[in-house]
């Protein structure tokens, strides 16, 4: 090829490169990665999908949230650690294992501190809930919102749990939360922390005799294939919490922060509706599959854990418990 033609080709390549760079600058999109451990049919996942859609709408495509469900990027603790170093933007985590990072969160794993669902949401949407959301910022974790995760109850393979005495001698899977371990021990069982992704096999192989969780999680995990008794004692109401890396949050412009937070806030009530529908559907489906759903008297369970409540006297979490109790 002649020298003149080579020069023209070089100039053309340079012009194309400049043009492409300009287009990329004009159409630059902020992409935030959100990872979690739940199934894609779970009401909390679907609530986050709705939130991501709202972010894209509000920002007119300038901010996008890519969601990685089902432990694609790691288990809950690993995802939280990725947030702390800024390698991941957002995650959904249960407040129980989060107590390992934010000690105040242990209050949600203490059994029977909420009278009912209305009481729980008064706390979450009030000053206490907001204070707990912001408690993680010194650990590089910004609380964005709470998502409904209902109440946790026991499911077992061989024997139904109709009162605390039925837990004696049983190995019960719990989340990696010292408070959850203490609760099972107080009720008379043997607490066994196991990651969510390993639980189905652990139930099959007899590593544990049962577990405790909400209806959608019991159903979507297919744990009902192994555990044929579900006792709705509703010992804890542990919300899910959407958290964001403060490193990533602080890198956003004020306008981007406004778009994201507004979308998050709007998704909460939508997700609560999904939760109610999902819980009813889950209970109906597990019963169709042969699970016996039991509605035990909660009084013996509540009485049994009073000693656990008193054990926190003098600790910061005890003051939070008393604040919660005082809310009408």
The reply to whether 81 falls in a domain is: yes
Residue 20 has pLDDT above 50, yes or no: no
CB proximity list for 89: less than 8 A, separation 6 or greater? 32, 33, 34, 65, 83, 244, 245, 248
| 75 and 215 both lie in a single domain | no
Answer for the pair 244, 88: CB distance below 8 angstroms, yes or no. Answer: no
Q: What SS3 class is residue 174?
A: strand
| 247 and 322 both lie in a single domain | no
What residues pair up with 154 in beta bridges, in sequence order?
212, 231
Q: How much is the pLDDT for 176?
A: 87
Paired sense of beta strands 229-236 and 152-156, if any: antiparallel
| 36 and 104 both lie in a single domain | yes
Kindly write down the DSSP assignment for every residue of 80-133, as one continuous string: HHHHHTTS-SEEEEEHHHHTTT-GGGGGGGSTT--SSHHHHHHHHHSHHHHHHH
Paired sense of beta strands 30-35 and 229-236, if any: unpaired
Which residue do the tokens 């004009």 mark? 26
Residue 180 has pLDDT above 70, yes or no: yes
The reply to whether 249 falls in a domain is: yes
pLDDT bracket for residue 27 (50, 70, 90): low
Give the whole-angstrom CA distance, residue 198 versus residue 202: 6
Residue 14 has pLDDT above 80, yes or no: no
The reply to whether 128 falls in a domain is: yes
The reply to whether 6 falls in a domain is: no
Residue 108 has pLDDT above 80, yes or no: yes
Residue 15 has pLDDT above 50, yes or no: no
Global confidence as pTM: 0.85
| 143 and 270 both lie in a single domain | yes
pLDDT tens digits, residue range 208-255?
Answer: 999 999 999 999 999 999 999 999 999 999 999 999 999 999 999 999
Which residue do the tokens 């909660």 mark? 298
Give the whole-angstrom CA distance, residue 46 versus residue 43: 5
Residue 63 sits in which domain range? Answer: 29-149+239-280
The reply to whether 312 falls in a domain is: yes
| 99 and 232 both lie in a single domain | no
| 168 and 307 both lie in a single domain | yes
| 226 and 317 both lie in a single domain | yes
| 87 and 135 both lie in a single domain | yes
R_g over Cα of the chain: 24
The reply to whether 95 falls in a domain is: yes
| 254 and 107 both lie in a single domain | yes
The reply to whether 3 falls in a domain is: no
| 203 and 175 both lie in a single domain | yes
What total number of domains does the chain contain?
A: 2
Residue 306 has pLDDT above 60, yes or no: yes
The reply to whether 96 falls in a domain is: yes
Q: How much is the pLDDT for 3?
A: 45
The CATH number for 60's domain is 3.40.190.170
Answer for the pair 242, 204: CB distance below 8 angstroms, yes or no. Answer: no
| 161 and 232 both lie in a single domain | yes
Q: How much is the pLDDT for 302?
A: 97
Q: How much is the pLDDT for 4?
A: 47
Q: What SS3 class is residue 240?
A: strand
| 134 and 245 both lie in a single domain | yes
249, 264, 280 - which closes a domain: 280
Give the whole-angstrom CA distance, residue 158 versus residue 226: 9
């Amino acid at each position: 090829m002649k020298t003149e033609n080579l020069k023209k080709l070089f100039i053309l390549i340079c012009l194309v490169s400049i043009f492409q760079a300009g287009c990329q600058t004009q159409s630059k999109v902020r992409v935030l990665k959100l990872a979690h451990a739940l199934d894609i049919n779970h009401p909390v996942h679907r609530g986050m999908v709705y939130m991501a859609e709202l972010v894209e709408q509000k920002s007119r495509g300038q901010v996008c949230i890519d969601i990685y469900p089902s432990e694609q990027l790691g288990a809950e603790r690993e995802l939280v650690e990725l947030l702390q170093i800024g390698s991941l933007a957002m995650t959904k985590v249960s407040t129980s294992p989060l107590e390992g990072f934010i000690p105040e969160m242990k209050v949600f794993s203490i059994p029977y501190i909420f009278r009912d669902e209305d009481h729980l949401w008064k706390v979450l949407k009030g000053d206490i809930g907001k204070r707990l959301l912001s408690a993680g910022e010194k650990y590089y974790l910004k609380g964005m919102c709470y998502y409904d995760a209902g109440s946790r109850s026991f499911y077992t393979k061989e024997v139904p749990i109709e009162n605390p005495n039925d837990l004696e001698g049983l190995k019960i899977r719990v989340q990696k939360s010292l408070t959850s371990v203490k609760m099972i021990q107080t009720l008379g069982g043997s607490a066994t922390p196991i990651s969510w992704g390993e639980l189905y096999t652990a139930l099959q192989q007899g590593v544990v005799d049962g577990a405790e969780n909400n209806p959608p999680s019991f159903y979507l995990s297919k744990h009902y294939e192994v555990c044929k008794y579900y006792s709705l004692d509703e010992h804890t109401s542990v919300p899910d919490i959407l958290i964001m890396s403060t490193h990533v949050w602080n890198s956003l412009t004020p306008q981007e922060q406004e778009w994201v937070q507004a979308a998050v806030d709007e998704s909460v009530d939508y997700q609560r509706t999904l939760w109610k529908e999902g819980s009813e559907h889950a209970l109906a489906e597990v019963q169709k599959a042969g699970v016996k759903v039991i509605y035990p008297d909660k009084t013996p369970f509540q009485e049994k854990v009073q000693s656990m409540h008193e054990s926190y006297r003098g600790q910061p979490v005890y003051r939070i418990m008393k604040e919660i109790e005082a809310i009408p």
